[in-house]
A and B are shown apart, each in its own frame.
Chain A
Amino acid sequence: MQLKTRAVTVALLSSLALAGCASSDEATDSTDAAACAPSDGAVSLTFTSWIPGIEDTVAVWNENNPDIQVTVQTGPNGNGGTYQNFFNQLKAGNAPDLGQIEYDALPNFRVQDGLTDLGACENVMAAQDQFVDWTWNQVSFGEEGSAYAVPQDSGPTALFYRSDLFEENGIAVPTTWAEFADAAEKVRAAGGYITNFSQSDINQFASFVWQADGSWFQNDGENWTVDLTSDASITVADYWQDLIDRDLVSTYPAWTSEWDNAYNSGEVWAWNSAVWGANSIASGAPDTAGNWSVAQSPQWVAGDTAAGNWGGSSTAVFSSSEHPYEAAEFALWLNTSDEALTMLNESANIYPATTAGLELPVLKEGVEFYGDQAIYDVFAAASAEVNPDFTWGPTMTQTYNDVSDGFKAAVSGTGTLAEALEAGQASTIEALKAQSIPVNE
């Protein structure tokens, strides 16, 4: 036993030391690899993704590309442990060649030098105009000639609403947020809630801020600016705070049984959510089939067409990959070919990030649950209206946690949403400094 303990200590120390060396080697490697040239001979790649059923899609690629074989690895979703695993693997030098990374986590991998800049890969750069503008901005961080991942899917937002209830009660479907607040009073008088403000989903709140032309972070290539308390952000916070204070919205935690039940029983009438929310409602509120419709999100300024975004991920090539060219080819096929996009949409409701993908036949059909409305047309229109300049910070997990604590307090009546954002602003700046990430104050 004693021997073992010692051996472990020694092995631990040396592995850390070696990991340190390894990562500095990789840094030089990745500059060499920036040439993005094809490798000699057959190549095998590993790809970690948590999209259920993605193996079937990758199998199609493997069949057609005997020289570039891809093995799928899996795990829980990103924040459920896979991101942490990526960081561990990068440290240990055995990261996969490719990984699924959501847009809000990309900056974190970037500041840790975990990503290969695919800017030298001609095919990737040539594909830039196939993607919806704002999704490309998410992976290029606004830099000309760079791409730190290939966009995969997107989550443009629109308003899901119970057309039957709005009609029966003679309430007009709101087209502005001011109308939304008025409608909220009428819905409350009719015994329901117009929507649910989720206390735990900071991402949903971010989509509201995104729609209001706000952004939480900026990066000038060197320094980060934290802007959780920008005017747009505070305007949105005050708006929802007012609805919460007047008991015009319910506040169930999202994705729970109570939450499902609130929609299923007709207690809550509308949800401003992302395209993938269509599936959440259909499976969580089966009794309401046929009664839902989708419209453009309410606007801050009447006549505008702004949309927010909630979610979306990319396929990144890790900096330790020895075959960036082949990895990039695979990532491009996975996220631009009709074949792959159709399969991913069928198996996991992936909503493509390419403009051509938004026109897939499967996304043009009427959806039975929504009274045969062709709901994806609404989202395709919204996708084109998403503000391209929204930027995520490099410590989003911590920011989400801190703001979420404040939101829970606000919902239970102590503090306000705006105060939660102020607290999140301060702790995010602290966190950036603690990691030696340059930040403007």
Chain B
Amino acid sequence: MFSRTGAMLVMGISAVYFLIPIWWLLVASTKDQSQFTNTNPLWFADFSLFQNIADLVAYRDGVFLRWMMNSVLYAGGGALIATLLAAGCGYALAKYRFPGRDLLFNIVLGGVLVPATALALPLFLIFSQISATNTFWSVFLPSLVSPFGVYLTRIYAAASVPDELLEAARLDGSGEVRTFFTVSVRLMFPALVTVFLFQFVAIWNNFFLPLIMLRDETLFPVTLGLYAWNSQVNQIPELRGYVLIGALLSIIPLIITFLFLQRFWRNGLGAGSVK
């Protein structure tokens, strides 16, 4: 009994610790600019959330909305294609025998260990060579590879796609590609949701690559845009309010994605455990 109370206490304190900044962000976003400094930081003052959002959206011809859209494109599109690529790659590694398979897999595993930040500068130099910096593709293309995704889908495909089923499909005259999309992808779906989610969050939060690649404000993802504003607060103090409200809005797509995909994810974990 005591250990249970203790555990609850620790969990409770941790939860409060992690939630307070978000609470603060929520409260601060509803305040009038002039009330930031002279009202209780953890409680509401005048409720001007909608006015703040309207101001933010109107500022500089709605560049903030553009950034949000960019982020959705980079993260949504990038994660989708990355998941497909990882699925194909992991599936092939799990289900086909070919020379160099293990070597290939080990290299992919090695890729998991290389932080994205370390690759940003080399990528910049490469993209410079082909004059492709400061383009949509300079941020989008590098997001399409996910070594962790390949690793995960391989493990999952090996466990959840029975060889017998593939044999049966072949006997029925289904080609390899068709089998992959109609049979295997369905079986691997929970793993793919996980890969998508991880990759979506990774791209959404990837800040260093856009920082190095992009110069054109209209291409910025929302993280870089808000960071740029925040760095100009000394010069234009009113930007602080926009950064706050922008930060609040920018986490909403992440929350939606999580809530929406969590269902599949939980099912998947359950299915795995029964097996």
Contact = CB atoms under 8 A, between A and B. Distances in A.
Interface in B105-157: 107-108, 111, 121-122, 124-126, 128-129, 131, 133-134, 145, 147, 150
Contact of A73 (B108, B122, B215): B215
30 contacts: A2-B103, A5-B107, A11-B126, A11-B129, A16-B125, A19-B125, A46-B215, A48-B215, A52-B235, A53-B60, A73-B215, A73-B216, A74-B217, A74-B228, A76-B211, A76-B232, A77-B228, A80-B228, A92-B124, A92-B125, A260-B37, A264-B38, A279-B237, A282-B237, A283-B33, A283-B238, A284-B237, A286-B37, A287-B38, A349-B235
A346 to B, nearest CB: 12
Interface in A368-408: none
B128 A15 contact: yes
A173 B107 CA distance: 70
A261 B34 CA distance: 11
A255 B217 CA distance: 25
A186 interface: no
Contacts of A73: 134, 215-216
Interface string A267-306: 0000000001001101111110000000000000000000
Interface centre among B145, B217, B228 (most CB of A within 10 A): B228
Interface in A4-50: 4-5, 8, 11-12, 14-16, 18-19, 46, 48, 50
A20 to B, nearest CB: 11
A375 to B, nearest CB: 17
A93 B128 contact: yes
A81 interface: yes
A94 interface: yes
A276 B133 contact: no
Contact of B38 (A18, A93, A96, A261): A261
Contacts of B122: 8, 12, 15
Interface string A130-166: 0000000000000000000000000000000000000
A302 B77 CA distance: 67
B13 interface: no
A74 B38 CA distance: 33
Interface string B213-256: 01111000000100110111111111100000000000000000
A264 B121 CA distance: 43
B235 A276 contact: yes
B128 A257 contact: no
B104 interface: yes
Nearest to B105: A1
A94 B231 contact: no
B268 interface: no
A1 B89 contact: yes
A188 to B, nearest CB: 22
Given A76-B231, A80-B227, A348-B235, A94 B103 contact: no
B100 interface: yes
B107 A2 contact: yes
B240 to A, nearest CB: 8
Q: Is the interface of B mostly helix, strand, loop or mixed?
A: helix
Contacts of B214: 75
B25 interface: no
A76 B227 contact: yes
Contacts of B124: 88, 92
Contact of A15 (B41, B125, B234): B125
Interface residues of A, number: 50
Contacts of B111: 1, 5
A265 interface: yes
Q: Which 6 A-B pairs have the closest CB atoms?
A: A73-B215, A283-B237, A92-B128, A80-B231, A76-B231, A77-B231
A260 B121 CA distance: 37
Contact of A255 (B34, B38, B234): B234
A52 B126 contact: no
A85 B212 contact: yes
B125 A91 contact: yes
B37 A285 contact: yes
B30 to A, nearest CB: 16
A1 B108 contact: yes
Contact of A88 (B34, B103, B126, B212): B212
Nearest to B124: A88
Given A2-B107, A80-B227, A12 B235 contact: no
Contacts of A92: 124-125, 128-129, 133
A387 B228 CA distance: 33
B231 A50 contact: yes
A12 B215 contact: no
